Amino acid sequence: MATNENTPVRTAVITGGARGFGKAFGDALARQGVHVVLVDRDSAAVEAAAAAIRAAGGSAEGLAGDVTDETRMAEVMAQAAKAHGGIDILINNAGLHSDEYGQPILKMGLAKVRRLFEVNVIGVVACTLAARPHMQGRAGASMVNISSSAAHMGGSAYGDSKLAVAGLTITLARELAPDGIRVNAISPGLILTDTIRAELPEATKARVKAMQMSQEDGEEADIVEAMLWLTSRKAKFVTGEVLRVTGGMAAGV
């Protein structure tokens, strides 16, 4: 859906936008005519992802930065807001979930657990605080945090960091409602993004898939569709929710 001269152009900031879900979110929003600002600590890859959107006819910029860096995130959000006078969508997607950070606490030790929570949890707060002044009062403003099926299943530090993301989603939804900003989360199940495809042993993939109800493989497109709905006017009455897109793996009440 392209915009026309009567439709104000929306701006979306997507953290962890260089690859995986973040890149797919950027591609999909750009196809809807949204100006996309990809943020990632991998500067070469984030610029390449933005250049690919531009080459396909979309509007995008790639900015380097670590989501835990409060000063840099303030600069990034101010830069993103310049194009169209503010920010309409923030996707807090950057996260550590590689094999290195999926280990038991006893194996990882304090430094790695601290970094895991710093990126996955504090990064969400840092970006939200930095984006808020640019989102206040924008019609239809909304944020989507990326949690995980692991949050609902217990038993890993990674899952615990994502459980904190689910909790923060409700807290931030309440605190930002007076600003007219909706805040929701998506908990993806196992989705074969490049990181997962490269790192997850086949046996683990099979074990995880056996926990699903659905016989289907989860795809990036499933998570993209959930994001598009949550950030659209169709979800105007939805805030403080955690939407599980897990093929039934993390079902529960």
Ligand X SMILES: NC(=O)c1ccc[n+]([C@@H]2O[C@H](COP(=O)([O-])OP(=O)(O)OC[C@H]3O[C@@H](n4cnc5c(N)ncnc54)[C@H](O)[C@@H]3O)[C@@H](O)[C@H]2O)c1
Least distance CB 237 / ligand X (angstroms): 25
Q: Sheet holding 11-15: strands in order across? A: 60-64, 35-40, 11-15, 89-92, 142-146, 182-188, 242-245
Specify whether the CB–CB gap between 176 and 125 falls below 8 A: no
18 lies in the binding site for ligand X (CB under 6 A): yes
Q: Which one among 13, 14, 36, 41 touches ligand X, defined by CB under 6 A?
A: 41
Least separation, in Å, of the C-beta of 32 and ligand X? 20
Examine residue 97 and tell whether it contacts ligand X (CB under 6 A). yes
Cβ closer to ligand X: 53 or 138? 53
Is 190 a binding residue for ligand X by CB under 6 A? The answer is yes
Q: Does 231 bind ligand X (CB under 6 A)?
A: no
Q: Which of 59, 93, 156, 239 binds ligand X (CB under 6 A)?
A: 93
For residue 145, state whether it binds ligand X (rule: CB under 6 A): no
Q: CA-to-CA distance for 163 and 96, rounded, in angstroms? A: 14
- Candidates 61-69, 72-80, 128-136, 233-241: pick the segment binding ligand X (CB under 6 A): 61-69
133: its two tokens: 């002044």
Q: Output the CA angle 105-149-46, nearest 5 degrees.
A: 85
Active site residues: 158
Q: 69 or 136: whose CB is closer to ligand X?
A: 69
213-215-221-226 Cα dihedral, nearest 10 degrees:
-20
Parallel, antiparallel, or unpaired for β 60-64 and 89-92? unpaired
Q: How many CB atoms lie under 10 A from the CB of residue 84?
A: 16
Q: Which of 29, 119, 166, 224 binds ligand X (CB under 6 A)?
A: 119
Does 40 sit near ligand X (CB under 6 A)?
A: yes
d(CA 25, CA 213): 26
Nearest CB to ligand X, comparing residues 16 and 86: 16
Minimum distance of ligand X from residue 4's CB (angstroms) = 32
Taking CA atoms, 122 is separated from 15, 22, 76, 145, in Å, by 13, 18, 17, 12
Distance CA 162, CA 79 (A): 28
Residues that bind ligand X (CB under 6 A): 15-16, 18-22, 40-42, 66-68, 93-97, 119, 123, 146, 148, 188, 190-191, 193-196
